[in-house]
C-alpha cells in the first residue's frame, strides 16, 4: 500500500504559504507525506519562484519543492490524478487576485479535484495551526452525511472534538429519502432536541465507528451560513468540513459561498456526487473516507 500524500500547491506568493501550517498538521495526523507543488509559466520563472518560496519560511526545511510548467489549475489536477492524494491543501486566493471568495485556480481545483480540498484563508499567514475543534454542519440528508466520516475520523485521529451543527428550517424540511428532519418546535428544544440528538449520534455511529471521539451537537435556527459562522467563532473552531453536491449555481451552494467568503478558519470541502437508494442508504461515488477508521 502506497504512502498517503497531501498535495500542497504554492504559487510563489507569500499569501499562498498560509496553506503550509495546515498541511503539515494534517500530514502528521494522517501519517501522510507532503507533496509541495509549484507551477510556473516557464522553467526559469519556476526556479526563481521556488527559491523565493524557500526563503520566505523555514516550514519548508527538509521538504522538496516539485515544479511544473503550465497553467496552475490544470497542472495541479493532473498531479492530483497521478498521486491520488488524501487531500489538496491550498490558499483561497493570492494577493494578485485581491480579496475574493476563491481565486481562479482554487475554484477550478475545487470543482474538479478527485479528493477533498482544504481551502485556507490567506490572512492567517504562517502562524502555527492546531486541530482542537472540527465542525461539520449537517442538514439531516444522507448526501450531507458524506462529510461526516471525514470529519469524525480526522477529529478522532487528531484528538479533536467533533462539533455537529444543525440549523433548522421548519419551512423547508429536507425531502431527500432517509433524511433526519429537525425537531418541530425549534424554539422549545428541551422537548424534542434530546431525542433528535440521540438519533443523530446513532446514525453517525452506524456510518463510522466513533471510538473515543467526543461529539457535541448544536441546534440553531435562522440563516444557515450566519449561524455556522457565529458558532465557529464562538467555539474556536479550527476546521469546518462541508459537504458540497458539486453545483456552484445551485441554491444550496449559497451557504457554501457565504462560509467560504467569511470563515476565519480553513474549510475542507467534500464533494458528494451520490446515489441514494430507496431505503435511504447512500453511496458516495467521488470522495470516500480517506482511510479506515481506528
pLDDT digits (tens, 9 = 90+) for 71-120: 999 999 999 999 999 999 999 987 655 566 789 999 999 999 999 999 99
Q: What is the pLDDT of residue 58?
A: 75
CA separation for the pair 217, 212 (Å, rounded):
16
Q: What confidence score (pLDDT) does residue 247 get? A: 84
Mean pLDDT in runs of 10 for the chain (294 residues)? Answer: 88 89 96 91 61 69 83 95 96 72 91 95 93 88 75 92 79 50 52 62 61 81 88 96 86 86 94 48 42 38
Beta strand ranges found along 114-192 (DSSP E): 117-120, 133-137, 161-168
Residue 233 contacts residue 204 (beta carbons within 8 Å): no
- Tell me how far apart the alpha carbons of residues 258 and 283 are, in angstroms, rounded to a whole number: 27
Q: What pLDDT does residue 249 have?
A: 81
Extents of the domains making up the chain:
5-124, 133-284
Cell 504554492 locates to 10
- What is the per-residue pLDDT for 159? 93
Predicted confidence at residue 8, as pLDDT, reads 96
Q: Which runs of E-coded beta strand occur in 32-85? A: 33-40, 65-69
**What are the beta bridge partners of residue 33?**
5
Q: What is the pLDDT of residue 135?
A: 96
pLDDT for 206 equals 61
Q: Residue 224's pLDDT is what?
A: 86
Domains 5-124 and 133-284 share a fold: yes
Return the CATH number of 5-124, one of 3.40.50.1010, 3.40.50.620, 3.40.190.10, 3.40.50.300: 3.40.50.620
Q: Assign domain 133-284 one CATH number from 3.30.1330.10, 3.40.50.620, 3.40.47.10, 3.40.718.10.
A: 3.40.50.620
Dihedral, CA of residue 101, residue 245, residue 38 and residue 99, to nearest 10: 0
Amino acid at each position: 500500500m502506497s504512502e498517503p500524500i497531501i498535495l500542497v500547491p504554492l504559487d510563489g506568493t507569500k499569501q499562498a504559504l498560509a496553506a503550509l501550517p495546515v498541511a503539515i498538521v494534517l500530514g502528521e495526523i494522517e501519517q501522510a507525506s507532503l507533496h509541495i507543488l509549484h507551477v510556473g509559466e516557464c522553467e526559469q520563472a519556476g526556479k526563481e519562484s521556488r527559491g523565493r518560496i524557500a526563503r520566505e519560511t523555514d516550514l519548508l526545511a527538509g521538504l522538496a519543492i516539485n515544479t511544473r510548467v503550465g497553467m496552475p489549475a490544470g497542472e495541479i489536477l493532473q498531479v492530483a490524478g497521478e498521486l491520488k492524494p488524501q487531500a489538496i491543501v491550498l490558499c483561497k486566493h493570492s494577493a494578485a487576485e485581491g480579496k475574493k471568495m476563491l481565486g481562479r485556480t482554487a475554484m477550478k481545483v475545487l470543482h474538479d479535484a478527485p479528493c477533498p480540498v482544504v481551502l485556507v484563508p490567506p490572512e492567517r499567514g504562517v502562524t502555527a495551526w492546531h486541530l482542537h475543534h472540527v465542525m461539520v454542519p449537517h442538514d439531516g440528508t444522507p448526501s450531507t452525511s458524506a462529510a461526516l466520516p471525514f470529519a469524525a475520523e480526522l477529529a478522532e485521529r487528531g484528538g479533536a472534538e467533533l462539533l455537529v451543527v444543525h440549523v433548522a428550517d421548519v419551512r423547508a424540511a429536507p425531502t431527500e429519502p432517509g433524511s433526519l428532519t429537525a425537531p418541530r418546535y425549534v424554539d422549545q428544544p428541551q422537548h424534542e432536541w434530546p431525542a433528535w440528538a440521540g438519533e443523530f449520534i446513532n446514525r453517525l455511529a452506524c456510518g463510522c465507528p466513533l471510538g473515543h471521539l467526543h461529539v457535541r451537537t448544536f441546534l440553531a435556527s435562522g440563516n444557515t451560513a450566519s449561524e455556522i459562522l457565529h458558532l465557529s467563532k464562538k467555539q474556536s473552531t479550527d476546521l469546518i468540513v462541508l459537504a458540497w453536491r458539486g453545483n456552484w449555481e445551485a441554491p444550496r451552494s449559497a451557504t457554501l459561498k457565504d462560509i467560504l467568503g467569511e470563515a476565519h478558519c480553513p474549510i475542507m470541502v467534500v464533494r458528494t456526487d451520490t446515489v441514494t437508494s430507496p431505503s435511504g442508504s447512500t453511496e458516495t461515488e467521488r470522495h470516500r473516507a480517506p482511510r479506515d477508521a481506528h
